[in-house]
């Protein structure tokens, strides 16, 4: 009988076999370049001690050892993918931890009906947010080589190859390894903002669209395997919303080179990339929809839609029709592609007749096409050809990703002080004001709609830069809508005034009435403790209440900092403080009828919140996961999680599935006071000793000698 344990054992054997294969290629490549001393020093492939010869330089040896560990990562990643496949085949789909099949089983065991499950799914809104980070030093060229090596590992698994063909695979692998060896692993200079942006753009356009399709298919497969009615889960709008966020181009906390112009160009680049992506998909769809008007009965209302759209597009619309006479489904798709192309090429005012103003307009046209296909019972082709495109529009829109705008509260204080000085206020040192005075000033100002500073007035470096990028956001929203803008995040939020001050800046550019989220970032242990009273005051403030008016299901985002709370209090106190903060903040949100979207500022290491996503989410307090969630993906974890398509699919599936799993159980659990008291004692004890270590006068000299810093 095949068990998960037996598959794990075979997995370890596969790792050893594949590692031997790829390391032997690496060794032979080095030997062919005359690097015998390096080849003899490689791990895992040399069974005898290296022959005495001139030792290699530390730099070249470090490169060889570093590449060896990267190759081990590739081997383990491929084995993990194969292990999951074999586990699904021999043990069952629900044996994959964190996957959709396990979530559906957990729900079923808890007594949830398929109808309850289907009702929850469209309310799930998950957003990975990619950030630039100095711990990601790999060059894009190297990431591409990693991908090619991975595909050769997969290719080598096929048993059909002859001895000569298998030798050819190894030769190709050696050529890739030589390219890698001669290129170098890391950037020799700090990456530019443009290179960071382009690096992330690769994932948004080349990885995530396909990973989204595969993730959706995983949910469909799990649903079918569970035996549930397919009608409950077949339309794009019945699926969870998976969106993507970015900080590159919007994060100004410590990034002085992120100018207003760079933010503007980033937003435009995102839009153009999204339109290019959708235009390519719709064009490909048109090439496949070769339904004959002679062999299929064409719905009359569909013919009317084709005629109406072609007439609106004029001569170019008629030309699109003439290319494929008597193929109405293809004609309609061509008209959609034409309108997308004109939208993409328009740099000025958008005409609703010739251009798509919003992604929702494209969604409406795709629904017309869907209905026309369903009317001729082309259900299978709707699922196979049209569904993925409708999902792309739903999740990526015309904006591709949501760009968060982040700045720290100290910078905001400098900006408002400069604005006060320009306005002739005598006591203009806002940073020195007590909280009571700040609130009195802000409350008075926010009662008025007039701007505090006249347009064109220079106030000072911080104020001018801040107002410039707020105006960029305003200009973008005026032209394209707010879909491409994420949240205004205030690092080091210490008080209510830190949040209200952003309201004032929004008012300065005419955005106070917008629904743009203003988000506290609670970073230190003290900030996490104070987060409850701050949120209570913020949610009940008249401006917040007014902005919430008319919103059917209001959501308030709160960002939690893992790195700074860990540096402040140590890992034990950090985790426990975040856990308590989530419970307290959720109760406050429930009290005011507001769902909380926790934005987890995780890093890659355990000390910064890293680890398996499903375990991380299962550790949240019951009832604190509303179904709306954001999570940073930083540094090297971007390539680790998403560089490979199947690995990207697995990580996205686990993120969405585990969020849905926790969101199903909305009632907060009763706390065991004894366990709570134990955790409090452990946390206090851990923090005390952590601070003794950290505050020791010899800690820094010790740290320099004991770590690779």
CB atoms < 10 A from the CB of 100, how many? 27
Closest CA to 405 of 622, 259, 275: 259
Closest alpha carbon to 116 in 237, 229, 215: 229
CB count, 10 Å around CB of 428?
17
Q: What are phi and psi of 171, to 5 degrees?
A: -65, -40
Catalytic residue among 155, 567, 587, 592: 567
Q: Which of 105, 102, 136, 103 minimizes the C-alpha distance to 121?
A: 103
End-to-end CA separation in angstroms for the chain: 50
Whether 294 is a known active-site residue: answer no
> Is residue 2 within 8 Å of residue 27, measured between CB atoms?
no
Which residue out of 133, 138, 281, 595 is catalytically annotated? Answer: 133
Among 268, 267, 276, residue whose Cα is nearest residue 246 = 267
Cα–Cα distance list, 188 to 138, 142, 519 (Å): 10, 13, 36
Integer angstrom CA distances of residue 52 from 35, 47, 56: 14, 15, 11
CA-closest candidate to residue 683, choices 694, 672, 675, 695: 675
> Which of 572, 568, 638 lies closest to 606, judged by CA?
572
The span from the CA of 617 to the CA of 121, in Å, is: 17
Query: Is residue 133 annotated as a catalytic residue, yes or no?
Result: yes
Q: Distance (Å, rounded) from C-alpha 555 to C-alpha 68? A: 47
- How long is the chain? 709
Residue 498 and residue 491: Cα distance in Å, rounded?
9
For 128, counting Cβ atoms within 10 Å of its Cβ (0-12 exposed, 13-18 middle, 19+ buried), the class is buried
Radius of gyration of the chain (CA): 28
Q: In 304-322, which positions are buried (b, 16+ CB within 10 angstroms) versus exposed (e)? A: ebbeebbeebeeebeebbe
Which residues sit opposite 518 in a β-bridge?
488
| Reduced 3-state DSSP string for 171-238 | HHHHHHHHHHHHHCCECCCCCCHHHHHHHHHHHHHHHHHHHHHHHHHHHHHHHHHCCCCHHHCCCHHH
Q: What is the DSSP letter of 251?
A: B
- Name the phi and psi angles at 245, rounded to 5: -125, 170
DSSP code per residue over 154-175: HHHT-TT--HHHHHHHHHHHHH
Burial class (CB in 10 A: 0-12, 13-18, 19+), 636: middle
Closest C-alpha to 664, from 110, 130, 67: 110
H helices of 244-299, in order, are 260-288
Contact 291, 327 (CB under 8 A): yes
Q: How many CB atoms lie within 10 A of CB 150?
A: 21
Q: Please say whether the beta carbons of 597 and 630 come within 8 A.
A: yes
Q: In angstroms, rounded to a whole number, what is the distance separating the alpha carbons of residues 672 and 150?
A: 48
At how many degrees (to 10) do helices 673-694 and 571-591 cross?
A: 130
Catalytic residue ranges: 133, 567
């Amino acid at each position: 009988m095949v068990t998960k344990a037996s598959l794990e054992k075979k997995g370890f054997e596969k790792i050893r076999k594949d590692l031997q294969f790829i390391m032997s290629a690496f060794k032979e490549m080095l030997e062919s370049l005359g690097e015998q001393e390096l080849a003899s020093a490689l791990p895992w492939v040399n069974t005898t001690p290296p022959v005495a010869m001139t030792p290699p330089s530390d730099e070249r040896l470090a490169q060889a050892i570093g590449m060896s560990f990267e190759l081990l990562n590739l081997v383990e990643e491929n084995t993990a993918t194969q292990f999951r496949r074999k586990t699904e085949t021999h043990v069952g789909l629900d044996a994959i931890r964190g996957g959709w099949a396990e979530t559906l089983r957990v729900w079923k065991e808890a007594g949830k009906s398929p109808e309850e499950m289907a009702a929850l799914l469209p309310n799930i809104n998950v957003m990975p947010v990619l950030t630039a980070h100095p711990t990601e030093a790999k060059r894009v060229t190297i990431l591409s080589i990693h991908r090619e090596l991975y595909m050769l590992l997969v290719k080598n698994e096929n048993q059909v190859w002859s001895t000569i063909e298998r030798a050819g695979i190894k030769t190709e692998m050696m050529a890739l390894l030589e390219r890698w060896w001669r290129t170098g692993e890391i950037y020799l200079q700090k990456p530019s903002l443009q290179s960071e942006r382009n690096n992330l753009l690769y994932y948004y356009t080349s990885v995530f669209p396909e990973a989204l399709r595969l993730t959706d298919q995983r949910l469909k497969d799990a649903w079918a395997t569970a035996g549930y009615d397919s009608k409950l889960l077949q339309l794009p709008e019945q699926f969870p919303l998976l969106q993507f966020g970015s900080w590159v181009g919007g994060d100004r906390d410590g990034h002085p080179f992120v100018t207003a112009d760079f933010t503007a160009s980033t937003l435009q680049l995102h839009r153009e990339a999204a339109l290019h992506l959708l235009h390519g998909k719709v064009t490909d769809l048109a090439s496949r929809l070769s339904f004959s008007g002679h062999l299929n009965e064409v719905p009359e209302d569909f013919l009317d839609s084709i005629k109406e759209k072609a007439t609106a597009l004029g001569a170019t619309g008629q030309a699109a029709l003439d290319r494929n006479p008597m193929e109405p489904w293809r004609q309609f798709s061509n008209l959609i592609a034409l309108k997308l192309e004109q939208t993409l090429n328009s740099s000025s005012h958008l005409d609703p007749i010739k251009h798509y103003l919003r992604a929702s307009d494209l969604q409406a046209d795709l629904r017309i096409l869907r209905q026309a296909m369903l009317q001729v019972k082309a259900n299978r082709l709707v699922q196979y050809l049209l569904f993925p495109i409708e999902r792309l529009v739903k999740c990526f829109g015309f904006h591709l990703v949501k760009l968060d705008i982040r700045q720290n509260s100290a910078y905001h204080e400098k900006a408002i002080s400069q604005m006060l000085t320009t306005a002739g206020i005598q006591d203009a040192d806002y940073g020195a004001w007590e909280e009571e005075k700040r609130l009195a000033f802000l409350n008075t100002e926010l009662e008025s709609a007039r701007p505090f500073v006249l347009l064109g007035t220079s106030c000072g470096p911080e104020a001018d830069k801040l107002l410039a990028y707020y105006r960029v956001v305003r200009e973008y929203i005026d032209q394209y809508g707010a879909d491409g803008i994420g949240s205004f995040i205030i690092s080091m939020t210490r008080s209510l005034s830190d949040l209200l001050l952003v309201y004032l800046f929004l008012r300065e550019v005419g955005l106070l009435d917008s629904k743009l989220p203003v988000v506290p970032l609670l970073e230190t242990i003290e900030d996490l403790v104070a987060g409850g009273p701050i949120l209570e005051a913020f949610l009940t403030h008249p401006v917040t209440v007014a902005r919430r008016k008319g919103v059917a299901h209001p959501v308030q985002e709160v960002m939690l900092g893992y790195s700074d709370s860990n540096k402040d209090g140590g890992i034990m106190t950090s985790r426990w403080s975040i856990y308590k903060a989530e419970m307290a903040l959720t109760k406050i949100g429930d009290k005011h009828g507001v769902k909380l979207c926790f934005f987890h500022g995780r890093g890659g290491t355990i000390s910064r919140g890293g680890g398996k996503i499903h375990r991380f989410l299962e550790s949240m307090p019951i009832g604190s996961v509303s179904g709306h969630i954001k999570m940073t993906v930083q540094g090297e974890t971007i390539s680790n999680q998403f560089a490979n398509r199947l690995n990207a699919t697995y990580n996205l599936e686990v993120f969405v599935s585990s969020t849905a799993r926790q969101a199903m159980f909305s009632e907060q659990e009763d706390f065991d006071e004894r366990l709570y008291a134990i955790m409090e004692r452990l946390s206090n004890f851990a923090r005390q000793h952590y601070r003794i270590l950290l505050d020791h006068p010899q800690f820094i000299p010790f740290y320099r000698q004991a770590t690779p810093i």
